[in-house]
Amino acid sequence: MPEDGTARASVDEWLARYADDATPPAGVFATYDDAGTVTYIDFAKNVAQALRSTRARAGDDRARTARVMAFRNSAMATREVLAAEARRWREALRNGETPALNAEWDAEDARDAAGSASTVKAVVGDEAAKSVMVSPFAAEAAAAAAEKADAGAESLDEKGADEPLLELTPENVDKALDEVRPYLIADGGNVELVKIENGIVAVRLNGACGTCASSSATMKGGIEKLLKQKFGSAVDEVVNVGEDLPEMSVETIEEYLGKLRNSITQHGGEVSVESLERGVCVLKFKGPQALAFSIAQALKTKFPFVRECKIRQIK
Protein backbone atom coordinates (compact mmCIF):
# COMPACT_ATOMS: atom_id res chain seq x y z
CA MET A 1 0.00 0.00 0.00
CA PRO A 2 1.82 3.15 -1.16
CA GLU A 3 1.37 6.27 0.97
CA ASP A 4 1.25 8.71 -1.96
CA GLY A 5 -2.51 9.11 -2.04
CA THR A 6 -3.06 6.69 -4.93
CA ALA A 7 -4.00 3.50 -3.06
CA ARG A 8 -7.29 2.80 -1.34
CA ALA A 9 -7.58 0.19 1.42
CA SER A 10 -9.83 -0.55 4.36
CA VAL A 11 -9.52 1.76 7.34
CA ASP A 12 -8.55 -1.29 9.41
CA GLU A 13 -5.60 -1.94 7.09
CA TRP A 14 -4.34 1.63 7.47
CA LEU A 15 -4.70 1.47 11.24
CA ALA A 16 -2.82 -1.83 11.32
CA ARG A 17 -0.01 -0.32 9.24
CA TYR A 18 0.48 2.53 11.71
CA ALA A 19 -0.11 0.47 14.85
CA ASP A 20 3.61 -0.10 15.45
CA ASP A 21 4.72 3.46 14.60
CA ALA A 22 5.99 5.34 17.64
CA THR A 23 4.76 8.51 15.92
CA PRO A 24 2.26 7.90 13.09
CA PRO A 25 2.84 10.25 10.15
CA ALA A 26 1.09 13.47 9.35
CA GLY A 27 -0.87 13.45 6.14
CA VAL A 28 -3.96 14.00 4.04
CA PHE A 29 -6.67 11.36 3.85
CA ALA A 30 -9.99 10.64 2.17
CA THR A 31 -12.64 8.19 3.38
CA TYR A 32 -15.14 6.30 1.22
CA ASP A 33 -18.51 4.70 1.92
CA ASP A 34 -19.66 1.21 0.97
CA ALA A 35 -20.49 2.40 -2.56
CA GLY A 36 -16.98 3.83 -3.08
CA THR A 37 -18.08 7.48 -2.89
CA VAL A 38 -15.79 10.00 -1.20
CA THR A 39 -17.37 10.99 2.11
CA TYR A 40 -14.67 13.03 3.85
CA ILE A 41 -11.34 14.72 3.08
CA ASP A 42 -9.11 16.24 5.71
CA PHE A 43 -5.53 16.51 6.99
CA ALA A 44 -4.02 15.66 10.35
CA LYS A 45 -0.73 15.65 12.22
CA ASN A 46 -1.53 12.05 13.18
CA VAL A 47 -3.26 10.20 10.33
CA ALA A 48 -3.95 7.07 12.39
CA GLN A 49 -5.73 9.01 15.12
CA ALA A 50 -7.67 11.04 12.56
CA LEU A 51 -8.84 7.93 10.70
CA ARG A 52 -9.89 6.29 13.96
CA SER A 53 -11.84 9.40 15.03
CA THR A 54 -13.46 9.83 11.63
CA ARG A 55 -14.70 6.25 11.55
CA ALA A 56 -16.02 6.50 15.12
CA ARG A 57 -17.91 9.69 14.27
CA ALA A 58 -19.13 8.70 10.79
CA GLY A 59 -19.77 5.00 11.29
CA ASP A 60 -18.30 2.04 9.42
CA ASP A 61 -20.63 2.34 6.44
CA ARG A 62 -19.51 5.93 5.69
CA ALA A 63 -15.82 5.38 6.41
CA ARG A 64 -15.26 1.88 5.06
CA THR A 65 -12.08 2.53 3.07
CA ALA A 66 -9.52 5.32 2.82
CA ARG A 67 -6.53 6.57 0.89
CA VAL A 68 -3.64 8.36 2.53
CA MET A 69 -0.83 10.68 1.46
CA ALA A 70 1.70 10.59 4.29
CA PHE A 71 4.19 13.39 5.01
CA ARG A 72 7.04 11.84 6.98
CA ASN A 73 9.44 14.76 6.55
CA SER A 74 8.70 17.31 9.30
CA ALA A 75 9.83 20.21 7.12
CA MET A 76 7.02 19.42 4.67
CA ALA A 77 4.42 18.38 7.24
CA THR A 78 3.40 21.92 8.16
CA ARG A 79 -0.21 22.88 8.70
CA GLU A 80 -0.13 25.14 5.63
CA VAL A 81 1.21 22.41 3.33
CA LEU A 82 -1.21 19.78 4.63
CA ALA A 83 -4.20 22.14 4.37
CA ALA A 84 -3.25 23.11 0.81
CA GLU A 85 -2.97 19.46 -0.26
CA ALA A 86 -6.36 18.69 1.32
CA ARG A 87 -7.87 21.61 -0.62
CA ARG A 88 -6.36 20.23 -3.82
CA TRP A 89 -7.96 16.83 -3.16
CA ARG A 90 -11.35 18.47 -2.67
CA GLU A 91 -10.98 20.58 -5.81
CA ALA A 92 -10.10 17.44 -7.79
CA LEU A 93 -13.57 15.99 -7.17
CA ARG A 94 -16.04 16.21 -10.04
CA ASN A 95 -17.47 19.73 -10.31
CA GLY A 96 -15.63 20.70 -7.13
CA GLU A 97 -18.30 19.01 -5.01
CA THR A 98 -17.89 18.97 -1.25
CA PRO A 99 -17.79 15.51 0.40
CA ALA A 100 -20.98 14.89 2.37
CA LEU A 101 -19.34 14.64 5.80
CA ASN A 102 -17.29 17.79 5.25
CA ALA A 103 -20.46 19.73 4.49
CA GLU A 104 -22.33 18.25 7.47
CA TRP A 105 -19.54 18.71 10.00
CA ASP A 106 -18.58 22.20 8.80
CA ALA A 107 -22.20 23.25 9.23
CA GLU A 108 -22.27 21.77 12.75
CA ASP A 109 -19.07 23.61 13.67
CA ALA A 110 -20.48 26.88 12.35
CA ARG A 111 -23.68 26.46 14.37
CA ASP A 112 -21.64 25.63 17.49
CA ALA A 113 -19.48 28.71 17.00
CA ALA A 114 -22.52 30.94 16.51
CA GLY A 115 -24.21 29.41 19.54
CA SER A 116 -21.14 29.96 21.72
CA ALA A 117 -20.94 33.60 20.67
CA SER A 118 -24.63 34.13 21.45
CA THR A 119 -24.24 32.51 24.87
CA VAL A 120 -21.30 34.73 25.79
CA LYS A 121 -23.23 37.86 24.82
CA ALA A 122 -26.32 36.75 26.71
CA VAL A 123 -24.37 36.07 29.91
CA VAL A 124 -21.92 38.96 30.03
CA GLY A 125 -23.27 41.52 27.54
CA ASP A 126 -21.79 42.92 24.34
CA GLU A 127 -19.07 45.03 25.94
CA ALA A 128 -17.83 42.37 28.34
CA ALA A 129 -17.92 39.76 25.55
CA LYS A 130 -15.11 41.60 23.78
CA SER A 131 -12.70 40.63 26.53
CA VAL A 132 -13.39 36.90 26.25
CA MET A 133 -13.70 36.30 22.53
CA VAL A 134 -11.23 33.87 20.98
CA SER A 135 -10.79 35.93 17.81
CA PRO A 136 -12.67 38.96 16.50
CA PHE A 137 -13.03 37.14 13.17
CA ALA A 138 -13.75 33.57 14.29
CA ALA A 139 -17.53 33.75 13.88
CA GLU A 140 -17.18 35.21 10.39
CA ALA A 141 -14.73 32.49 9.37
CA ALA A 142 -16.94 29.72 10.72
CA ALA A 143 -19.97 31.09 8.90
CA ALA A 144 -18.00 31.33 5.66
CA ALA A 145 -16.80 27.76 6.01
CA ALA A 146 -20.40 26.55 6.19
CA GLU A 147 -21.55 29.05 3.53
CA LYS A 148 -24.26 30.24 5.88
CA ALA A 149 -23.31 33.90 6.06
CA ASP A 150 -26.23 36.25 6.60
CA ALA A 151 -27.13 37.68 3.19
CA GLY A 152 -28.24 40.92 4.80
CA ALA A 153 -25.02 41.51 6.74
CA GLU A 154 -22.90 44.39 5.52
CA SER A 155 -19.46 43.12 4.46
CA LEU A 156 -16.15 44.95 4.67
CA ASP A 157 -16.15 45.17 0.88
CA GLU A 158 -19.53 46.89 0.85
CA LYS A 159 -18.58 49.33 3.59
CA GLY A 160 -15.41 50.35 1.76
CA ALA A 161 -16.74 50.25 -1.80
CA ASP A 162 -16.65 54.04 -2.24
CA GLU A 163 -13.34 54.64 -0.49
CA PRO A 164 -10.36 55.50 -2.75
CA LEU A 165 -7.58 52.91 -2.71
CA LEU A 166 -4.44 53.83 -0.80
CA GLU A 167 -0.84 53.59 -1.96
CA LEU A 168 0.78 50.44 -0.61
CA THR A 169 3.41 51.91 1.74
CA PRO A 170 4.54 50.80 5.22
CA GLU A 171 3.03 53.95 6.72
CA ASN A 172 -0.39 53.40 5.13
CA VAL A 173 -0.44 49.69 6.01
CA ASP A 174 0.46 50.38 9.63
CA LYS A 175 -2.30 52.99 9.81
CA ALA A 176 -4.81 50.52 8.32
CA LEU A 177 -3.84 47.92 10.90
CA ASP A 178 -4.86 50.40 13.60
CA GLU A 179 -8.46 49.53 12.70
CA VAL A 180 -8.08 45.94 13.93
CA ARG A 181 -5.57 46.46 16.75
CA PRO A 182 -8.19 47.33 19.42
CA TYR A 183 -9.88 43.94 18.88
CA LEU A 184 -6.59 42.07 18.97
CA ILE A 185 -5.46 43.91 22.11
CA ALA A 186 -8.77 43.07 23.79
CA ASP A 187 -8.00 39.44 22.95
CA GLY A 188 -4.56 39.65 24.58
CA GLY A 189 -2.55 40.15 21.38
CA ASN A 190 -1.52 42.61 18.70
CA VAL A 191 -0.18 42.79 15.15
CA GLU A 192 2.93 44.43 13.70
CA LEU A 193 3.99 45.06 10.12
CA VAL A 194 7.24 43.27 9.25
CA LYS A 195 7.82 43.86 5.54
CA ILE A 196 6.15 44.47 2.17
CA GLU A 197 7.61 42.79 -0.90
CA ASN A 198 6.17 42.03 -4.36
CA GLY A 199 2.58 42.53 -3.19
CA ILE A 200 2.98 40.30 -0.15
CA VAL A 201 2.45 41.93 3.23
CA ALA A 202 4.20 40.13 6.08
CA VAL A 203 2.84 40.79 9.56
CA ARG A 204 3.51 39.20 12.93
CA LEU A 205 0.69 38.31 15.29
CA ASN A 206 1.88 38.80 18.85
CA GLY A 207 0.71 37.62 22.24
CA ALA A 208 -2.37 35.42 22.45
CA CYS A 209 -3.22 36.08 18.79
CA GLY A 210 0.00 34.47 17.63
CA THR A 211 -0.76 31.11 19.24
CA CYS A 212 -4.55 30.79 19.38
CA ALA A 213 -6.36 28.26 17.21
CA SER A 214 -8.22 31.04 15.37
CA SER A 215 -5.08 32.84 14.15
CA SER A 216 -5.72 31.64 10.58
CA ALA A 217 -9.25 33.08 10.69
CA THR A 218 -7.82 36.31 12.07
CA MET A 219 -5.38 36.54 9.17
CA LYS A 220 -7.65 35.64 6.26
CA GLY A 221 -11.06 36.69 7.56
CA GLY A 222 -9.90 39.91 9.14
CA ILE A 223 -6.48 41.39 8.40
CA GLU A 224 -6.11 40.25 4.77
CA LYS A 225 -9.67 41.24 3.94
CA LEU A 226 -9.16 44.68 5.47
CA LEU A 227 -5.89 45.34 3.61
CA LYS A 228 -7.31 44.19 0.28
CA GLN A 229 -10.20 46.58 0.85
CA LYS A 230 -7.80 49.43 1.55
CA PHE A 231 -5.17 48.70 -1.13
CA GLY A 232 -6.99 46.63 -3.74
CA SER A 233 -5.01 44.39 -6.10
CA ALA A 234 -1.72 45.86 -4.83
CA VAL A 235 -2.03 43.31 -2.01
CA ASP A 236 -1.65 39.75 -3.28
CA GLU A 237 -1.55 38.07 0.10
CA VAL A 238 -1.03 38.72 3.80
CA VAL A 239 1.15 36.24 5.67
CA ASN A 240 1.95 35.75 9.34
CA VAL A 241 5.69 35.30 9.96
CA GLY A 242 7.67 34.23 13.00
CA GLU A 243 10.66 35.86 14.64
CA ASP A 244 13.12 34.34 12.14
CA LEU A 245 12.35 35.51 8.62
CA PRO A 246 14.69 33.61 6.25
CA GLU A 247 16.52 35.42 3.47
CA MET A 248 15.06 34.52 0.08
CA SER A 249 17.58 33.70 -2.63
CA VAL A 250 18.35 30.86 -5.03
CA GLU A 251 21.02 29.66 -2.62
CA THR A 252 18.81 29.61 0.48
CA ILE A 253 15.99 27.89 -1.39
CA GLU A 254 18.42 25.26 -2.71
CA GLU A 255 19.70 24.75 0.82
CA TYR A 256 16.16 24.21 2.06
CA LEU A 257 15.39 21.76 -0.75
CA GLY A 258 18.49 19.84 0.30
CA LYS A 259 16.82 19.14 3.63
CA LEU A 260 13.82 17.68 1.81
CA ARG A 261 15.68 15.65 -0.81
CA ASN A 262 15.71 12.32 1.01
CA SER A 263 11.94 12.47 1.37
CA ILE A 264 11.51 13.75 -2.21
CA THR A 265 13.67 10.94 -3.60
CA GLN A 266 11.77 8.32 -1.61
CA HIS A 267 8.57 9.55 -3.29
CA GLY A 268 10.16 9.30 -6.75
CA GLY A 269 11.02 12.96 -7.30
CA GLU A 270 13.92 15.20 -8.29
CA VAL A 271 13.94 18.99 -7.91
CA SER A 272 16.20 22.02 -8.27
CA VAL A 273 15.79 25.80 -8.56
CA GLU A 274 15.82 27.14 -12.11
CA SER A 275 15.19 30.83 -11.38
CA LEU A 276 13.92 33.34 -8.84
CA GLU A 277 12.68 36.73 -9.99
CA ARG A 278 10.28 39.22 -8.39
CA GLY A 279 9.01 36.61 -5.97
CA VAL A 280 8.36 33.96 -8.65
CA CYS A 281 10.36 30.79 -8.10
CA VAL A 282 10.64 28.30 -10.98
CA LEU A 283 11.55 24.72 -10.06
CA LYS A 284 12.82 22.03 -12.41
CA PHE A 285 10.99 18.91 -11.30
CA LYS A 286 10.65 15.26 -12.16
CA GLY A 287 8.13 13.04 -10.40
CA PRO A 288 4.47 12.82 -9.31
CA GLN A 289 2.35 15.95 -9.66
CA ALA A 290 1.07 15.68 -6.08
CA LEU A 291 4.65 15.72 -4.80
CA ALA A 292 5.44 18.83 -6.86
CA PHE A 293 2.42 20.60 -5.36
CA SER A 294 3.53 19.69 -1.82
CA ILE A 295 7.07 20.95 -2.46
CA ALA A 296 5.71 24.23 -3.79
CA GLN A 297 3.52 24.68 -0.70
CA ALA A 298 6.44 23.84 1.59
CA LEU A 299 8.56 26.53 -0.11
CA LYS A 300 5.82 29.15 0.17
CA THR A 301 5.47 28.33 3.86
CA LYS A 302 9.21 28.53 4.54
CA PHE A 303 9.76 31.62 2.39
CA PRO A 304 6.73 33.92 2.80
CA PHE A 305 7.87 36.24 -0.02
CA VAL A 306 7.70 33.52 -2.66
CA ARG A 307 4.68 34.97 -4.41
CA GLU A 308 4.33 32.07 -6.82
CA CYS A 309 6.09 28.73 -7.25
CA LYS A 310 6.04 27.40 -10.82
CA ILE A 311 6.91 23.83 -11.72
CA ARG A 312 8.68 22.95 -14.98
CA GLN A 313 8.41 19.22 -15.54
CA ILE A 314 11.52 17.56 -16.96
CA LYS A 315 12.00 14.06 -18.32
Provide the 8-state DSSP code for 154.
P
Model confidence at 139, in pLDDT bands (50, 70, 90)? very low
Model confidence at 5, in pLDDT bands (50, 70, 90)? confident
Q: 68 phi and psi, to 5 degrees? A: -135, 135
Residue-range domains of the chain with CATH = 4-97 (3.40.1440), 122-150+160-240 (3.30.300.130), 250-313 (3.30.300.130)
Give the model's pLDDT for residue 115: 59
Give the model's pLDDT for residue 240: 85
pLDDT in tens, 216-242: 666 766 888 889 999 999 998 888 888
pLDDT > 90? residue 76: no
Average pLDDT over residues 11-21: 90
pTM over 0.75: no
Give the model's pLDDT for residue 216: 64
34-48, 130-144, 283-297: the lowest-pLDDT one: 130-144
| Sign of the alpha-carbon dihedral angle for 66, 13, 289, 198 | positive
Residue scoring higher pLDDT (33 or 242):
33
pLDDT > 60? residue 77: yes
Q: Report the alpha-carbon distance of residue 53 to residue 40 in Å, rounded.
A: 12
Give the model's pLDDT for residue 28: 93
DSSP three-state, residue 253: helix
pLDDT in tens, 272-298: 999 999 889 999 999 888 888 889 888
Model confidence at 210, in pLDDT bands (50, 70, 90)? low
pLDDT in tens, 169-197: 999 999 999 988 888 888 788 889 999 99
Q: Report the alpha-carbon distance of residue 183 to residue 283 in Å, rounded.
A: 41
DSSP three-state, residue 98: coil
Maximum average pLDDT range among 184-188, 207-211, 247-251: 247-251
Residue scoring higher pLDDT (29 or 215):
29
Q: Across all residues in the chain, what is the average pLDDT?
A: 80
240: left (phi over 0), alpha (psi -120 to 50) or beta: beta
CA atoms within 13 A on the CB side of 107: 9
Q: Residue 135: enclosing H or E segment and its boundaries? A: none
Model confidence at 244, in pLDDT bands (50, 70, 90)? confident
Give the model's pLDDT for residue 128: 41
132-146, 184-198, 256-270: the lowest-pLDDT one: 132-146
Q: Report the alpha-carbon distance of residue 68 to residue 4 in Å, rounded.
A: 7
Question: pLDDT over 90 for what percent of the chain?
Answer: 37
